[in-house]
Amino acid sequence: MDYYAVKAKKDHYPARSVYKLEEVQEKYRLLRPGDAVLDIGSFPGSWSLFAGVVVGEKGLVVGVDLQQGSQAPRPGSAPLYWLRFDIRDPDVLMAIKKIRPAFKVILCDIAPKTTGNRWTDAQQSLRLVRTSLDLAQTLLLPGGNYLTKIFQGEDVPALLEQLRRAFALVKVLKPRSSRIESREIFILAMDYRGGKIITPEDDAPPDKAGNRTGIAEAIPDDTQ
């Protein structure tokens, strides 16, 4: 068991992934007291629990996952709502809107079942991220923030360009708590301008020529 897994158990979080969000939060403050937060791919609940503490009792957190969430909010935390849905299900949008029509922050820690083929896994990860962005186009408030996990792949630079059209600040991050061998990176997009994020042209089949990837910014120790 590594350092972050031990720390998660000590801090009563169900998964070590919470420290990835904590590192991003400490440097960029994407979550603020009173925010409404949508957590996509929320199970087992660490990101939702952490977000609930940051946004506080005046905030709200909705977690969506294929597996049913059950974590109770921490004392002084925002209320937590758990939805069991595939985010590709056309009914998920209405289910979310019944709880809250719009959100200041959308988090996405979703990942596909891996096949062992790097190109295939990266494409499946990209499709899930695009699905989360399709939801964000409807649910994210202007001025809102978006954070997603994605596997490194040749189409990440094109995705970054799409995000830069819709957000004032876009960063590619590799938190220290992310395992060194992992191909995951995180994209932070802040200050949503409103309107379309992904256009029909963006959903065209990928060009397999070239193997460029986004450059991940390591979050330095002095942000702690």
Give 120's contacts (C-beta < 8 A, 6+ positions apart): none
Longest dimension (CA), the chain: 52
The mean pLDDT value for 60-85 works out to 96
Is 213's pLDDT higher than 50?
no
The mean pLDDT value for 181-193 works out to 93
Residue whose structure tokens are 């002095």 = 222
Of 20, 149, 171, 174, the catalytic one is 149
Confidence of residue 207 (pLDDT cuts 50, 70, 90): very low
Confidence of residue 20 (pLDDT cuts 50, 70, 90): very high
Confidence of residue 87 (pLDDT cuts 50, 70, 90): very high
149: annotated active-site residue? yes
Which H/E stretch holds residue 129?
helix 118-139
Is 182's pLDDT higher than 60?
yes
Confidence of residue 177 (pLDDT cuts 50, 70, 90): confident
Q: Which amino acid is present at 129? A: V
Per-domain boundaries in the chain: 3-199+211-223
pLDDT score recorded for residue 57: 97
Would you mind telling me the total number of residues written for the chain in this entry? 224
Report the alpha-carbon distance of residue 224 to residue 216 in Å, rounded: 18
* Helix, strand, coil in percent for the chain, rounding step 5: 35, 25, 40
The CATH architecture to which 3-199+211-223 belongs is: 3-Layer(aba) Sandwich (3.40)
